[in-house]
Amino acid sequence: MHCACAAFLLGRTTAGSGLRALGTMSWSEALERTVTGLHYDLVDVERSAGGLLRVTIDRLQGETYATGPGEFVLVEDCEIVTRQLQYVLEVEAVDYARLEVSSPGLDRPLKKPADWQRFVGDEVEVTLREAFQNRKKWRGVLAAGDGDNAWRLVLPDDKPLSRTAAKKLAKAAAAAAEPAAAAQQTLDFNLDEVREARLVPVVDFKGRRGLQGDQAGGGSDHAGRMADKVDGGQD
């Protein structure tokens, strides 16, 4: 099971216990160290009204997980991370009411520079901070741009691309090595110009864009990263 699969634990805090504010450097470093130490990618951390602390994780490419094969997060992965984070949050005396650990979904956000590098060749929707040609939202195949902080979207034409073709087009666009790539319209930008970016949820049952049948140990067949959560409530 994957995609927004979540297992979460509750945590209780009491007034006057010397709690540290959420988001302090020591707390955030401890959380990231815990997640990465378990060989998962820390995608995002959110705190919502009512004390919900939401931690989003993903599997890393090339890693082997005892919880089962595949590139998608399973419920068992969420449970492992939840147990470890409960201990860390208690040690760090973080004020929260409930902890939720989940996978990022098919429309996974791109937050860190490493995310952009990882998903070169995938279709991405980018929301710019400032409109360009009277629009802020752009969708295309992600390619590397000219420079460390520069990226490029190869804008779609009328023909849908397979994942293999998209990867090839992204590589060619980055190198400007093929006439086909040069003929494609592109949008060049740097990360400072981006307000938000997400993978486009395309379900083709191949790789990250969909499940390859039933995931071992998951107990569920999802066409993509559908919501499937286990709510522990509050004691």
What are the pLDDT digits (tens) for 155-184?
887 555 555 666 666 666 666 544 444 557
Domain-located, residue 80: yes
User: pLDDT tens for residues 101-145?
Assistant: 999 999 999 999 999 999 999 999 999 999 999 999 999 999 998
User: What are the residues facing 230 on neighbouring strands?
Assistant: 7
CATH code where residue 133 lies: 2.30.30.180
pLDDT of residue 184: 73
What is the average pLDDT value for the chain, to the nearest integer?
76
Q: Which residue has the tokens 């666009």?
A: 173
- Check: CB of residue 5 under 8 Å from CB of residue 73: yes
Phi (first) and psi of residue 98, to 5 degrees: -155, 140
94 plus 208 within the same structural domain: yes
**What span, in angstroms and rounded, lies between the C-alpha atoms of 73 and 2?**
5
**What span, in angstroms and rounded, lies between the C-alpha atoms of 59 and 41?**
6
Domain-located, residue 214: yes
Domain-located, residue 235: no
209 plus 102 within the same structural domain: yes
102 plus 124 within the same structural domain: no
Percent of the chain's residues with pLDDT above 90: 49
**What span, in angstroms and rounded, lies between the C-alpha atoms of 165 and 153?**
15
195 plus 209 within the same structural domain: no
47 plus 94 within the same structural domain: yes
**What span, in angstroms and rounded, lies between the C-alpha atoms of 224 and 4?**
10
- Check: CB of residue 92 under 8 Å from CB of residue 49: no
Domain-located, residue 128: yes
102 plus 120 within the same structural domain: no
102 plus 86 within the same structural domain: yes
pLDDT of residue 164: 63
pTM: 0.70
Domain-located, residue 81: yes
101 plus 138 within the same structural domain: no
51 plus 123 within the same structural domain: no
User: pLDDT tens for residues 64-107?
Assistant: 999 999 889 999 999 999 999 999 999 888 888 999 999 999 99
53 plus 78 within the same structural domain: yes
pLDDT of residue 17: 33
60 plus 117 within the same structural domain: no
pLDDT of residue 206: 55
Rg (CA), the chain: 20
Domain-located, residue 222: yes
101 plus 167 within the same structural domain: no
Domain-located, residue 181: yes
Domain-located, residue 216: yes
Enclosing domain of residue 57? 5-106+204-230
- Count of structural domains within the chain: 2
